Amino acid sequence: MKTLLLVLAASLLMSLASCVSAPVGDQNAATKKKDGRIRIGFSMDTLKEHWVKDKALVEKRAGELGADVVVNVAESNDERQLKQIDDFLTQGVDVLIIAPHNGQVMATAVEKAKAKGVPVVSYDRLILSDQIDVLVSHLHSLAGQMQAEYALKNAPKGNYVMIYGAPTDNNALIMKEAQMAILKPAVDRGDIKIVADQHARDWSAEEALKTAENALTQNRNEIVAFVCSNDGTAGGAVQALKKQGLIGKVVVTGMDAQIDALQRIAQGEQSMTVYKPIQPIAYAAVEAAVKLAKGEKLETTKTMKAVNKEVPFIFIEPKIVEKGNLMDVVRDGYEEYDKIFANVPEDQRPKKN
């Protein structure tokens, strides 16, 4: 009887053991060992503006490196982005690339990822967490500096309007600081006066339009420069200037080299944009993600302060694009000649070669 009970007990234990699920990490390891492919979760804030290109390039480079990418887009909703990242972790992705809507809120997602041993690449925008493995971005401080220097060079005296990016985006804050560092001496000398400054929520062109219209009204159209932090906000300023017949008479800066901004520059409506080549940053992010998933070291000597410590930083330097060098983005394969100059008479277009 005792022997029978021991046999039954052993059988029961074996049955229970066979019902216990393996830890998520173990399941992932088995999956990777079987098919050899790394799974990347790409959490995106939006697909507006240049982000469609970012998505396509991330997917392309991942495919070239033998990795799979799962993409979720939060549509500028913090709760949705957090939920989507939770889903990624539940699905057992090997590494996360996060382009945050709100860099502070996404620190929570980083904590959850690190608790599961999942590396995190902060993409284009800094997540305010000391636990991110690497920031891959453009040098936005230089972009802000370029915009302010361009404005001062072309409008050294008069009234300025500052239209900053989203207050939830750390890049907008970095750019604002860089812009003001350049402009402050001119303000202190009395050469320029900042008559209006406003953040555009979610980089909204509509909010930029309102800010621009109010500033023009309150200053009787006596504005010499709109320092706009990206091309979307620049579009709002241009729209306001059109209504007042001031196109081409006021400096308007931008960033991202969006096709509509390049067209405005070709037509003389927008003064410049800061061109941030997307392919290098997208490829660098995927390459870093794959290395991290494999447990390999990243080769970078640059750092960026996240909260209380420096984190690895891989960056690409931007460049100014204005009417005189529009062909640079064509030669880079970034945008098509016929699209950029679609609204310019053929006899006024630059030569293709």
SS (H, E, C) the chain: CHHHHHHHHHHHHHHHHHHCCCCHHHHHHHHHHHHCCEEEEEEECCCCCCHHHHHHHHHHHHHHCCEEEEEEECCCCHHHHHHHHHHHHHHCCCEEEEECCCCCCCHHHHHHHHHCCCCEEEECCCCCCCCCCEEEEECHHHHHHHHHHHHHHHCCCEEEEEEECCCCCHHHHHHHHHHHHHHHHHHHHCCEEEEEEEECHHHCHHHHHHHHHHHHHHCCCCCCEEEECCHHHHHHHHHHHHHCCCCCCCEECCECCCHHHHHHHHHCCCCEEEECCHHHHHHHHHHHHHHHHCCCCCCCCCEEECCCCEEEEEEECCEEEEHHHCHHHHHCCCCCHHHHCCCCCHHHCCCCC
Mean pLDDT of 182-198: 98
Please give the pLDDT value at position 326.
96
Mean pLDDT of 235-242: 98
pTM of the model: 0.77
Mean pLDDT of 312-320: 93
Query: What is the pLDDT confidence band of residue 81, given thresholds at 50, 70 and 90?
Result: very high
Mean pLDDT of 139-144: 95
Q: Give CA–CA dist 284/290, Å, rounded.
A: 10
Tokens, residue 96: 């996360």
| pLDDT value at 77 more than 50 | yes
Please give the pLDDT value at position 35.
64
| pLDDT value at 30 more than 50 | no
| Average predicted confidence (pLDDT) for the chain | 90
Query: What is the pLDDT confidence band of residue 33, given thresholds at 50, 70 and 90?
Result: very low
Query: What is the pLDDT confidence band of residue 1, given thresholds at 50, 70 and 90?
Result: very low
Query: What is the pLDDT confidence band of residue 129, given thresholds at 50, 70 and 90?
Result: very high
Which domains are present in the chain?
34-132+278-316 (3.40.50.2300), 140-276+319-348 (3.40.50.2300)
Query: What is the pLDDT confidence band of residue 291, given thresholds at 50, 70 and 90?
Result: very high
Mean pLDDT of 272-285: 95
